[in-house]
A and B are shown apart, each in its own frame.
Chain A
Amino acid sequence: MDISDHHMTDVGIIRPDVHIEVHVKSQSTAKRSDVRTHVLSLLDRHSTVLRSFKWMDFDNEFLTKNVESVTIADVTGPKLVDLKVHNLCIHIFTLNDDSPSTLNLEEEEELSAANLWLLPAVEFHGVWESLIYEEGIKTQLLDYVSTTIFFSDKNVDSNLIAWNRVVLLHGPPGTGKTSLCKGLAQKLSIRLSDRYAHSQFVEINSHSLFSKWFSESGKLVTKMFQKIQELIDDKDALVFVLIDEVESLTAARSAAQAGTEPSDAIRVVNSVLTQLDQIKRHPNVVILTTSNVTEKIDLAFVDRADIKQYIGPPSAKAIFNIYLSSLEELMKRQIIYPRQQLVSLEELETMNFMESDVTRLSLCLMNISQRSVGLSGRALRKIPFLAHALYGKTSTMTLKGFLTAMEHAVNKQRQEQASLVNCV
C-alpha cells in the first residue's frame, strides 16, 4: 500500500524526464516534424525498454532511410524504463562533418587564433559516453547549463541573482578535462537543439594571444572576445568557448609584485577579466576552462568561476568500467574472439564476489583495475593498445589471454612510473 501510494504520488505530481536522442543521418533531407512523428510511433510500440537502450535497426522504412540511431540517454534509476509514465523529451540532431574552421584576428596574419566547430560535430560524437567519472560530475555540469538557460528564459534579474557562465575544471593531467568540455558541449547542443538551432564550439589557442610587442597581448585578447561577441550576437546560436590550460592567460597578478613576471601578463589578465564581465550579459554563451595548476591562477578569475570542479584520477570502480568498455569494443571488432560474457560491478556485488565460471574473468579484470589505481584516464585508455602491441602473440586473442597481457602492460606502466620518479 505504501509503495503504491508513493507511486501514485509521483505520477500525480510530476513525470520525470526521459531524453530520447534521435541521430538523423547527414544525407537526410526529411523534415524534423516528420522524424518526430515516426520516432513517437516507434516508442509507442516499445513501452518498456532497458535503460540506455539504443535502436539502430528499424522496421519503419522512413526511419531506416533517415535515422541512424534512437537512444534512451542518461537515465538514472531502475534498469527497466516504463516510457508511459515518463515525460519524453525528443532531441533530433544531425552531426556536422566539416573540419574545424579557424578564426583569424588580423586580416594580414595567417595565424589561427581559435578553432571553430559546428555542433553537434562528428569529431565529438561518443566522447560524452566514453568519459567515466564519480559523484555525478557529468550530470551536475548538464544541470548547470540547463539552469542557466532556464533562469535567463524566466528573466531573472541578473543584478539580484548573478552567474558568470564560467566553468573551471582543474586536476592532474590526463584526467579528461578537455574531453569532458567537448563532450559537455556536444551533449548540451543536442539537449537544447529545440531552443538553439545552431551551436558552436570555439577552442582558443592561448599561444596566439601573446605577442612579442609590449601591450599587444591585451589587444589580442580584446579582439578574440570581439570575435566571440559576433558569434554570440546570433540569438539562435549557443556558443561554447574552451580556454585550455587557462593559467597561461590568467596567471596570478600578485606574482608580478615579486618582479618575476613582466607587467604585460597583468594586462592580459585584466583584459580577460573585463571581457568576461561584459560577456555574462548574454544567455547563450558558456565558457569552459581547464587547468592543471590551480595555485597559479589569479584569484579574481577563480572567484568568477561558477563551478570549480576537481577532476581527479579515476577510482577502481571507474577503471573497471573503462576497461569493460574497452574490452567490449575489442570483442565487437572481433579482435578478442570468441566473445565471452563479462559481468558488471553491480552484478559482482550481487553475487558477493563469489568465484565461478561466470565471474572468474570479471574478477580477474577487477584485480587488474585495483592495481591500476593511480594511473590517469589517458594512460588507462592506452593499456589495451599496449597490451596487444607488446604482449599479444597473435592478431586475434582470447579474452583470458588478453587479460593476462593487460596485467603485464599495467605492471610495465608501474615500472615506467617508478623509473621516472627515480630519475627526478
Chain B
Amino acid sequence: MEEGSKKGQFDCENMTVIKHSNTIETSNNNCSNKLIQSNQCTSHEEESRASSGKTERNILCYVDDPESSAESEVENVCLQDDIGESESDSVCVEHLNPSEDQENRNSSTQTRTDHRGDDVGCQETDSLASASGSHKDCESNGVPPHSVDDEEIFRRAREEGRVNVIFPGCITQDGCCRFVGELLKCVLYQRQQMPMTYDQMVFLQKQQHNASQDIIKQRSAKASGGLDWRRCQKMLQELDDVLAHLEALFSLSRVPRVLFMLGGSTVLPTELYEVNMESVAVGAGENSLRTSTCLRQIFRTLFVADLLSDAKSVRLMSTTVLALGHRDCGVTGFKPRVDFKVPTKVKRQVISIGSDLSLAGELPKTDLEDYIWFQAPVTVKGFCK
C-alpha cells in the first residue's frame, strides 16, 4: 500500500512538471537543454565523486531559472525517499524527458550512449591537440642536417675514438702537409705540452727579440708572462725542425698515415694520435679545394667531436712523429723504421681525412707494401711556464 502511494505521488509530481513546461514552450526548450547538459555533467561527476556531485547538483539547480524550485523539490523528495542510485538516475531522466515508460527506457539508453561518445570525442580532441602540439614542437625544434651529423660525429668520437672528415674534392699535397702541421700544433697545445698556442709563442718570441734591442725590458717581461725563454725557444726550435722535416717528406712522397706519439716510448706510448689520409685524392692546384677552408672544416669537426678534451691533467712528455712514406723516396732527415709496428695497447685517436670519391674521381691504387715508417729525428719535449 505504501509503495502504491509513493508511485502515486511521483505521478502527481510528474503532471505538475508537465504543466509548467507546457505553459512556456520556448523557455522550456532552453531549460531542458541546460538541464540535460547539467545532468549529464552531474551524473558523470556522481560516478566519480558521490558527495561532491550532490553538492554541485544543488549549486547548478540554484543557478537555473525560477522553475528550479520545482526541480529542487523533486530531487529533495528523491533523496528523502532513499531510492537507489540507478533508480534516482532513471527518475531524473524521466523528469527531463516527458514520455511513456517504454520510451523512457530507450531514451536513458541513448543518453548513456551519447555520454560515452562524448567521452571518446573528448579523448580524441585531447590526442589531436597533443599531436598538433608535438608536431609544432618538432617543427619549431627542427634540427638541420648539419647538427644531426654533429651528434653522429660526437658519438663516434666517444665510442670509436675516430673522427671522419670528408672533402668534396681533391686536396693538394702541400695542403696535406699543412693539415698535419696544424694538427700537431693543436694536439701539443690541447694536451698541455705548450703553455700557449704556437702562433702566440712565435709572436711573443718576436716581441722578446725586439724588446732585447730596446732599453725597456720590463714591459716585455710583463707581456711574456714569465715564460721560461730557454725552454720556449728550445721547443720552438724542435717543433720547427719537425715541421720542416715533414714538409720535406711530403714534397718527396705521398704520406698516407702520420702518428703522433706522446710520452713513454715508440713501443708503449702514453697517448697515440693518428692522421689517416689514405682516402685523400691528391690533385693539382687549380682542381683542388682551398687549404684554409679545409682546415676550418677539420678543426670544426674536431671541436664538435670533443676528441682532445680530458679532465685529467697531463704530465710533460716527449712527442715523437712518425710518418708512412715510400721506401725509395730518398728523404734524408727521417730515420727509417723498417720493423716498426703501430702499438695496439694504447688507445688510438684517429683523425681520418678523405675525399668524396663520387666528386673527386677514383684514387690511384697505392701499394702500401712499398711504404715504410719514418721517424722524425727530433722529439718535441713539453714544457710549462
B372 neighbours in A (Cβ, 8 Å): 29
In the complex the two chains form, what is the Cα distance from A357 to B372 in whole Å? 57
A107, A108, A197, A200: the one within 8 Å of B341 (CB):
A197
In the complex the two chains form, what is the Cα distance from A98 to B345 in whole Å? 21
B267, B335, B339, B345: the one within 8 Å of A116 (CB):
B267
| Contact (Cβ within 8 A) B345 A101 | no
A414 at the interface (CB under 8 A from B): no
The minimal Cβ–Cβ distance linking A225 to chain B, given in whole angstroms, is 14
| Contact (Cβ within 8 A) A101 B315 | no
In the complex the two chains form, what is the Cα distance from A31 to B338 in whole Å? 8
Instruction: Write out, one digit per residue, whether chain B residues 322-337 have a CB within 8 A of any chain A CB (1) or not (0).
Output: 0000011000000110
In the complex the two chains form, what is the Cα distance from A27 to B332 in whole Å? 8
Between A28, A108, A230, the greatest number of chain B beta carbons within 10 A of the residue's beta carbon is seen for A230
Q: How many residues of B contact A (CB 8 A)?
A: 17
With A198-B267, A230-B268 as contacts: A28 and B345 at CB distance below 8 Å: no
| Contact (Cβ within 8 A) A27 B336 | yes
In the complex the two chains form, what is the Cα distance from A107 to B271 in whole Å? 12
| Contact (Cβ within 8 A) B315 A233 | no
Interface of A is mostly: loop
Q: How many residues of A contact B (CB 8 A)?
A: 29
| Contact (Cβ within 8 A) B267 A200 | yes
**Of residues 77 to 101 in A, which have CB atoms within 8 Å of B's CB atoms?**
94, 97-98, 101
In the complex the two chains form, what is the Cα distance from A231 to B315 in whole Å? 22
B134 neighbours in A (Cβ, 8 Å): none
B292 at the interface (CB under 8 A from A): no
The minimal Cβ–Cβ distance linking A189 to chain B, given in whole angstroms, is 11
A102, A197, A233: the one within 8 Å of B339 (CB):
A197
| Contact (Cβ within 8 A) A26 B265 | no
B264 at the interface (CB under 8 A from A): yes
A26 neighbours in B (Cβ, 8 Å): 335-336
B276 at the interface (CB under 8 A from A): no
A32 at the interface (CB under 8 A from B): yes
In the complex the two chains form, what is the Cα distance from A101 to B328 in whole Å? 29
B266, B312, B328, B344: the one within 8 Å of A118 (CB):
B266
| Contact (Cβ within 8 A) A198 B345 | no
In the complex the two chains form, what is the Cα distance from A197 to B315 in whole Å? 31
In the complex the two chains form, what is the Cα distance from A108 to B335 in whole Å? 32
**Of residues 210 to 238 in A, which have CB atoms within 8 Å of B's CB atoms?**
227, 230-231, 233-234, 236-237
| Contact (Cβ within 8 A) A233 B345 | yes
Instruction: Write out, one digit per residue, whether chain A residues 187-198 have a CB within 8 A of any chain B CB (1) or not (0).
Output: 000000000011
With A29-B327, A197-B341, A198-B341 as contacts: A231 and B267 at CB distance below 8 Å: yes
| Contact (Cβ within 8 A) B328 A27 | no
Q: Which residue of A lies closest to B370 (CB)?
A: A31
Between A32, A227, A234, the greatest number of chain B beta carbons within 10 A of the residue's beta carbon is seen for A234
**Of residues 274 to 328 in B, which have CB atoms within 8 Å of A's CB atoms?**
312, 315, 327-328
Instruction: Write out, one digit per residue, whether chain B residues 134-147 have a CB within 8 A of any chain A CB (1) or not (0).
Output: 00000000000000
Q: Which residue of B lies closest to A227 (CB)?
A: B268
| Contact (Cβ within 8 A) A29 B345 | no
B315 neighbours in A (Cβ, 8 Å): 107-108, 110
With A98-B266, A101-B264 as contacts: A29 and B328 at CB distance below 8 Å: yes
B268, B341, B344: the one within 8 Å of A231 (CB):
B268
A149 at the interface (CB under 8 A from B): no
In the complex the two chains form, what is the Cα distance from A108 to B314 in whole Å? 8
| Contact (Cβ within 8 A) B265 A116 | yes
In the complex the two chains form, what is the Cα distance from A324 to B264 in whole Å? 42
A103 at the interface (CB under 8 A from B): yes
A116 neighbours in B (Cβ, 8 Å): 265, 267-268
| Contact (Cβ within 8 A) A94 B339 | yes
A231 neighbours in B (Cβ, 8 Å): 267-268
Instruction: Write out, one digit per residue, whether chain A residues 99-129 have a CB within 8 A of any chain B CB (1) or not (0).
Output: 0011110011010000010100000000000
| Contact (Cβ within 8 A) B336 A29 | yes
Q: Which residue of A lies closest to B327 (CB)?
A: A29
The minimal Cβ–Cβ distance linking B7 to chain A, given in whole angstroms, is 96
In the complex the two chains form, what is the Cα distance from A200 to B265 in whole Å? 11
**Of residues 24 to 64 in A, which have CB atoms within 8 Å of B's CB atoms?**
26-32
Q: Which residue of A lies closest to B268 (CB)?
A: A230
Q: Which residue of B lies closest to A233 (CB)?
A: B345
B338 neighbours in A (Cβ, 8 Å): 28-29, 32, 94
Instruction: Write out, one digit per residue, whether chain A residues 331-349 have a CB within 8 A of any chain B CB (1) or not (0).
Output: 0000000000000000000
A98 neighbours in B (Cβ, 8 Å): 265-266
In the complex the two chains form, what is the Cα distance from A27 to B265 in whole Å? 20
In the complex the two chains form, what is the Cα distance from A237 to B340 in whole Å? 12
The minimal Cβ–Cβ distance linking A123 to chain B, given in whole angstroms, is 14
**Of residues 181 to 234 in B, which have CB atoms within 8 Å of A's CB atoms?**
none
B341 neighbours in A (Cβ, 8 Å): 197-198, 236
**Of residues 393 to 416 in A, which have CB atoms within 8 Å of B's CB atoms?**
none
B335 neighbours in A (Cβ, 8 Å): 26-27, 97
In the complex the two chains form, what is the Cα distance from A107 to B266 in whole Å? 18
The minimal Cβ–Cβ distance linking B168 to chain A, given in whole angstroms, is 36
The minimal Cβ–Cβ distance linking B145 to chain A, given in whole angstroms, is 41
The minimal Cβ–Cβ distance linking B371 to chain A, given in whole angstroms, is 10
The minimal Cβ–Cβ distance linking B254 to chain A, given in whole angstroms, is 15
In the complex the two chains form, what is the Cα distance from A26 to B336 in whole Å? 7
| Contact (Cβ within 8 A) B339 A198 | yes
The minimal Cβ–Cβ distance linking B77 to chain A, given in whole angstroms, is 89
| Contact (Cβ within 8 A) B339 A103 | no
B266 neighbours in A (Cβ, 8 Å): 98, 101, 118
A29 neighbours in B (Cβ, 8 Å): 327-328, 336, 338, 372
**Of residues 173 to 217 in A, which have CB atoms within 8 Å of B's CB atoms?**
197-198, 200
In the complex the two chains form, what is the Cα distance from A103 to B268 in whole Å? 9
In the complex the two chains form, what is the Cα distance from A103 to B265 in whole Å? 8
A198 neighbours in B (Cβ, 8 Å): 267, 339, 341
In the complex the two chains form, what is the Cα distance from A197 to B339 in whole Å? 7
A236 neighbours in B (Cβ, 8 Å): 341
In the complex the two chains form, what is the Cα distance from A231 to B268 in whole Å? 8
A108 neighbours in B (Cβ, 8 Å): 315
In the complex the two chains form, what is the Cα distance from A102 to B270 in whole Å? 11
A28 neighbours in B (Cβ, 8 Å): 336, 338
Q: Which residue of A lies closest to B343 (CB)?
A: A234
In the complex the two chains form, what is the Cα distance from A227 to B345 in whole Å? 11
In the complex the two chains form, what is the Cα distance from A126 to B267 in whole Å? 24
In the complex the two chains form, what is the Cα distance from A25 to B266 in whole Å? 20
A200 neighbours in B (Cβ, 8 Å): 267
Q: Which residue of A lies closest to B344 (CB)?
A: A234
- Given A116-B265, A231-B268, A237-B267, 11 additional A-B pairs, CB 8 A: A27-B336, A30-B327, A97-B335, A101-B264, A102-B265, A103-B264, A104-B264, A198-B341, A200-B267, A227-B268, A230-B345
Query: Lowest 3 A-B CB distances belong to which pairs?
Result: A101-B265, A29-B336, A29-B327
Give A contacts to B, CB under 8 Å: 26-32, 94, 97-98, 101-104, 107-108, 110, 116, 118, 197-198, 200, 227, 230-231, 233-234, 236-237
Q: Provide 15 A-B residue pairs closer than 8 Å at the C-beta atoms, listed in order of the A residue.
A: A26-B335, A29-B336, A30-B327, A32-B338, A94-B339, A97-B335, A98-B265, A101-B264, A101-B265, A103-B268, A107-B312, A108-B315, A200-B267, A230-B345, A233-B345
